[in-house]
Structure 1
Amino acid sequence: MRQVLVSAFLLLSLSATVSGGPVSYGEVQTGKLFLDFNTALLERMGITVAIPDSLGSAATKVHGGTLKVLDASSSDLRFAVRDAGFRYLVSGELKTDTGLALSFGDDVIRSEHLYVRAMPGSLSFRIHTDDNFPLFELHNSHAWLDPGTGDLSFRHMDLRITVELAERLGYPRFADITVGEAHMETTAEVPPAALADKGASCGVLDTDGDVDVQLTGINSTSEIAREPGVRVAMAPDASLKNVGTADVAWFRAINPDGGPTPPFAQHPFLAYNLFRIADGVIEQIGRSQVKHAFFTVNVGSDCDCPGGQILHLGCQDVYGISSNGDRHYLASRQEVTASSGKWDSYGSHFDTYPNEPKDDFRDHGRSDHSDPFEHRMAVLEDDLLVEGASYFVEAWYLIKGDVNILNNMGFRQLDPELGGGAWSFTPFLTSFVNGPAIDAWVDPNATGNVARNTYVVTGDGHLKLAVRTTNLGGGLHRYEYALMNLDYDRQIRKFKVPAPPGVSVTNITFGDLDDEQSNDWTRARGSNAVVWTTKSPKSDSLDWGTLFNFGFTANVGPAETQATLMPLEPPSGIKGSSETLQATTLAPADLNKAARRTFDN
């Protein structure tokens, strides 16, 4: 049922009545199907896929395996074209000249050919066997129609196990797991007029207006790499839409990939995190580095321009799990200024790894990866096995000049389960919600003396401080705080919550992303506050895209007050930049102050 719903959504969003030029139709004649299986993942699942060697079989790709190329000399695949760009699949299939054999235990599925069948109204395909059994689905395609030749390519597609195959394997939870990446390069016939009918503004970056890109969905999350019994690397897919009034630059990171004209290398960055809520506390248990965006497919009923290096008004884009977890596009968060979306290619990871010198030219290639966890979101397996816990995956696009960061991000509750040698995280337990995942712990509209969630806006970036209080009985109250640094580049090195004299404070706690006690913040009961501080000025300060936990028990109930946040770096000089930050929260009430107020009355 899940796949039916996804297809229906794409059909509505991609093939609806549009306001641009007329829709024409093209047809694929021949092509090649490139399959890059995550062989390590398949081995853990007990699956073997055998494909005859063919041209290009020695190429190394995303998952470090061998790329298989299947020629296809037969096709009746049809697709829609509007404003000189690919819009959606209409019907038909592409038939490969050779097939495969898939083995699982004593079960073997053999097919002399593969049939790559369109899911009408979408960017997706299903791969069937000779006897019409659906093996895989291909999702999140970067479709590109060459305006010079009319040839059509589908790149960076997630290769997912179908519901039918998962059930046949005896593990229904295998359904929707991404087990590789697929590409298709095709020759196609397109009416010449359809290729020439491109809007005058297409391909021209118009920055007049407001930049506002909305993350519109997370539809799947999968394991990419695993160290059994220790940790697992995972990634979500992500879809978005330009809902602003300005175009958005989407240029590749660095030459020879990057564009030759300004704005050099300007593009969004995707970061994703994993959070766990257990025993009334939210904790961050996973964090990726940043993925550098490199192409926008530009589809949707409101989009009038073809794909390329500019996200035009009303256009939608997708990035799959394979793309978001591809180390070729991943680099350190520290290279990015989160609040402004600035990044410099010169001297970057792409420029200098694995070899110097700094020359603003990509040295970082797919063959340079020895660590399967490099820059990916790695999560300890024990952290995914907490009984009764809830888990939330969060994705966020950092975009230069965006006017609303809260719709750049979003989250969904997933359901981790280990079985059959692999982790599965879907089906999701909730629908997609815009905003940071801390909002799943405390409603941003919460009032009263039980919970609060405060959005802190400064000239240097944004943070969120949430608190949840619990009456433990016997006159004791537990205070749990979560401080999420969204894009505050100055970082936070001290957190202080009022605790008036006479209030008994016990069990002061702190939590960060790792298990190293050496970099934990110090905890102290001051004369009128509970204070947490880094052990040294730059020892595990709270950087952007990260959540830390603070807590204590007190013998006084909560009241509204102001917490103090101390930045690591000095004020930037930007309007709204200050020495310290204040955030409304809940803390033990000042009983003496209340008594004085009563006496005065």
Structure 2
Amino acid sequence: MRRFAVPAALVLCVCAAIPPLAAAQPRADAVADASTHGTLVLRPNADVLRGLGIELAGGLVQGDTRRFGIAPRAPLTVELRDGGPTAVGDTPIALPALVLRRADGVRSPPLSLRSADGGVRRWRVVDDAGAVWLRITQAMRSPDGASALSLLTSDMRVGPALAAWAGDVAAAGLPFANAELHLPLRLRAADKSEAAGKSCTVPNWPGTPGFVTDVILTNIDDIDVMRCRNLSDADEPCDGPGGAPGELVVVPSVTLRNSSAANASEVPWYTKFTGNFPPYDNDQHPFLVWNLYRLDAEGRIDQIARSGLKHAFATANDACVEPCNNQHILGRGCEDLYNSFSNDANAFLSPRREVIPSRGIWGRCGSVFDDGLDALGVGTPGCDSAQDAAPANDGYRERMVVRESDLDPALHAGAEYLVDSWYVVRDDIDLFNTMGSRALVPVWFGTRWDLSGSPPAYTQGSVLDRWLERAPAGVVRQRRLIETAEGRVLVAVRVHRNAEARYVYDYAIMNYDLTRPITSGAEPDLQVLRNHGLAQITLALLHGATVDVHDYRDGDASAANDWPGTVGADAVAWEAPDAQAYLEWGSLVTLRLESAAAPGPGLLQLAMAEAGMPAFQTASVLVPDASQLFRDGFD
């Protein structure tokens, strides 16, 4: 085992989140002592500070961040394995400039930073008595520790001592700030040969014969409400159920792992616009999306909110099967995470329409990051391979924005809620293990919403499978996957007979990644001109079956984009009123029919919005069938 000397100071910055390290660390092959000055950079959550009635004082203000000088009180031991920092000693790191101030002028006591468990993913900000004022979770460390211990991003959360000091004990756990840490290391000469990583030098890229890409979403760790706005009075906070209309931004923190199979490829993870790299000669990286669903007491599922597109920018490469300390290549069996603050970072959010989802290809030319415009939308067309300013950050652009009314228990008695998330990874062989969902329970605490959920159980796979599993006894269930070269649609069906002896047919149609893109140019400067999904849905009616009720829902509050339904002699059809209402990728609609006819096998037809062949995709699903009137199996 070798040791490194780390300078007396540390650099901590608020940027993005990393998945927690495993409690048990493998044996180190190098060690250092930190003994020089560093920096703590925080990007505070203004809504949380305002709600607690406190302000962050001290430090150097730089835009929306504060930078603090910090220093270990004694040499701090840092252990490295395969070139990456894995463990630290218990030496406290003084934070002399980090001061919190209440409205009455009272200031926080002197604070210091310590590892929470001896690892590098979880930290605590404590006072001299050991009380926890702030916690750092989901810290993404750089896998290259040859010169520094760096946390590329992390979630800093309110601790119990701060919550009590602010007079709001229920505030413990709220997202306080995004934090980054950088601690210079002085390697001992005997350890330098062990400090280098041992793989990713010659990656087995996607497309290498015998290798496949298989990235797996392993958890949705946290669900945070980052901010809320009152739509009636911008100067007033949200006032909860039954109050003024409001909107809240909800963000998950997620963890993933590359497959540990012997034939698993490494995966490119390059920050956008940093150059053109193998294997695709571009800045290839994965993308993350998330959505919120309500399962109502009547048994229907609605997608009530959806995010934009999060661009991945680096990987922590934790707990690898094969070591990899290149933060832009996900190694075999390596873990990575994206915390809540990272997923709320304006500089990495763009519209979903810019990505061809079934192929994991981004049209960066003409995107919101390469349109030639500044943050205020002024300028000339870009498409010059250079990153332009991100659109102005109002805190709501491309976020998952949830209406307060959609969470109001008085309006949705008996409802359940699920959040899902998935990665769009180029050449990945399994869409459904890159995704998962978690139940949450919306609670209004008098001044703020909490959506953390209890218990926080995560389930891998499609959210529509969760909907089917929740069907009560006596409900007929059906799952159909439409899989094509252009993408996939999952159709889930539930049929039951109601108290009036009528058959109720519920269809949930999720367009996961089916589009027919119209593009210009080629990678790395491909431009996606259009990227539409579906424009019409038709359900057959068999042997003279009729329907009493037909209904369409897309989960939003606008009637203008609802698809009107038309009942014909042998089918019911719904058609988008315009291009703004198409069923685009990552979106769900639900249909309901009521009929005297029992279910039989019939045709579901989905019409592509863009011209070309095939014009339709189809699946066999249960539909009303008059010939089944006395052979339904429901008795």
Q: How high is the TM-score relative to the length of structure 1?
A: 0.87
Q: Within 2, Cα distance between the matches of 1:253 and 1:8? A: 22
Correspondence for 1:356: 380
Q: Which amino acid aligns with 1:591?
A: S
Q: Deviations over 1:413-464 (max 9, x none)?
A: 1122222432221144341111121221113999996222222211211111
Structure 2: unaligned runs, 5 residues or longer? 1-17, 230-237, 239-244, 517-532
Contact 2:85 2:120 in 1 (8 A): no
Q: Which amino acid aligns with 2:449?
A: W
Correspondence for 1:337: 356
Structure 2 vs 1, CA of residues 446 and 340 (structure 1 numbering), >3 Å: closer, same or farther?
farther
Correspondence for 1:375: 398
- Which range is displaced more, 211-220 or 443-452? 443-452
Q: Within 1, Cα distance between the matches of 2:87 and 2:473? A: 46
Would you say 1:302 and 2:338 are equivalent positions?
no
Structure 2 vs 1, CA of residues 414 and 563 (structure 1 numbering), >3 Å: closer, same or farther?
same
Q: Within 1, Cα distance between the matches of 2:252 and 2:369? A: 23
- Secondary structure of residue in 1 paired with 2:47: helix
Q: Within 2, Cα distance between the matches of 1:90 and 1:29? A: 13
Correspondence for 1:138: 136
Correspondence for 2:463: 437
Contact 1:522 1:533 in 2 (8 A): yes
Q: 1:274 aligns with which of 281, 292, 309?
A: 292
Q: 2:336 aligns with which of 317, 321, 335?
A: 317
- Secondary structure of residue in 1 paired with 2:468: coil
Structure 2 vs 1, CA of residues 393 and 454 (structure 1 numbering), >3 Å: closer, same or farther?
same
Structure 2 vs 1, CA of residues 426 and 144 (structure 1 numbering), >3 Å: closer, same or farther?
same
- Secondary structure of residue in 2 paired with 1:323: helix
Correspondence for 2:610: 569
Would you say 1:188 and 2:185 are equivalent positions?
yes
Contact 2:19 2:121 in 1 (8 A): no
Shift of 1:236: 0.6
Structure 2 vs 1, CA of residues 403 and 519 (structure 1 numbering), >3 Å: closer, same or farther?
same
Correspondence for 2:558: 516
Shift of 1:340: 0.1
Correspondence for 1:551: 592
Q: Within 2, Cα distance between the matches of 1:144 and 1:87? A: 10
Would you say 1:460 and 2:486 are equivalent positions?
yes
Would you say 1:580 and 2:616 are equivalent positions?
yes
Contact 1:456 1:464 in 2 (8 A): yes
Would you say 1:125 and 2:131 are equivalent positions?
no
Q: Which amino acid aligns with 2:591?
A: F
Contact 2:292 2:418 in 1 (8 A): yes
Aligned length: 564
Would you say 1:15 and 2:15 are equivalent positions?
no
Q: 1:527 aligns with which of 569, 577, 581?
A: 569
Contact 1:29 1:186 in 2 (8 A): no
Contact 1:394 1:410 in 2 (8 A): yes
Q: Deviations over 1:486-536 (max 9, x none)?
A: 111131222122223543312211111432222211201111122111124
Shift of 1:551: 0.8
Q: Within 1, Cα distance between the matches of 2:405 and 2:462? A: 24
Correspondence for 2:226: 224
Structure 2 vs 1, CA of residues 132 and 109 (structure 1 numbering), >3 Å: closer, same or farther?
farther
1:114-263 correspondence to structure 2 within 5 Å: 114-144=112-142, 150-163=147-160, 165-166=162-163, 171=168, 173-192=170-189, 194-197=191-194, 198-199=196-197, 201-207=199-205, 208=208, 209-227=211-229, 228=238, 229-243=245-259, 245-254=264-273, 257-258=274-275, 263=281
Structure 2 vs 1, CA of residues 134 and 558 (structure 1 numbering), >3 Å: closer, same or farther?
same
Contact 1:34 1:67 in 2 (8 A): yes
Contact 2:303 2:588 in 1 (8 A): yes
Q: Which amino acid aligns with 1:553?
A: E
Correspondence for 1:347: 366
Q: How high is the TM-score relative to the length of structure 2?
A: 0.82
- Which range is displaced more, 128-137 or 290-299? 128-137
Correspondence for 2:546: 504
Contact 1:498 1:529 in 2 (8 A): yes
Q: Within 2, Cα distance between the matches of 1:88 and 1:463? A: 44
Structure 1: unaligned runs, 5 residues or longer? 1-6, 573-577, 596-601
Would you say 1:540 and 2:581 are equivalent positions?
yes
Q: Within 2, Cα distance between the matches of 1:147 and 1:370? A: 33
1:396-411 correspondence to structure 2 within 5 Å: 396-411=422-437
Structure 2 vs 1, CA of residues 107 and 41 (structure 1 numbering), >3 Å: closer, same or farther?
same
Q: 2:39 aligns with which of 32, 37, 57?
A: 32
Q: Percent same amino acid at aligned positions? A: 26
- Which range is displaced more, 556-565 or 324-333? 556-565
Structure 2 vs 1, CA of residues 522 and 151 (structure 1 numbering), >3 Å: closer, same or farther?
same
Would you say 1:59 and 2:62 are equivalent positions?
yes
Shift of 1:586: 2.1
Correspondence for 1:599: none
Q: Within 2, Cα distance between the matches of 1:553 and 1:75? A: 73
Q: Which amino acid aligns with 2:514?
A: Y
Shift of 1:158: 0.6
Q: Which amino acid aligns with 2:607?
A: M
Structure 2 vs 1, CA of residues 248 and 469 (structure 1 numbering), >3 Å: closer, same or farther?
same
Q: Within 1, Cα distance between the matches of 2:499 and 2:471? A: 27
Q: Within 2, Cα distance between the matches of 1:497 and 1:210? A: 37
- Which range is displaced more, 405-414 or 356-365? 356-365
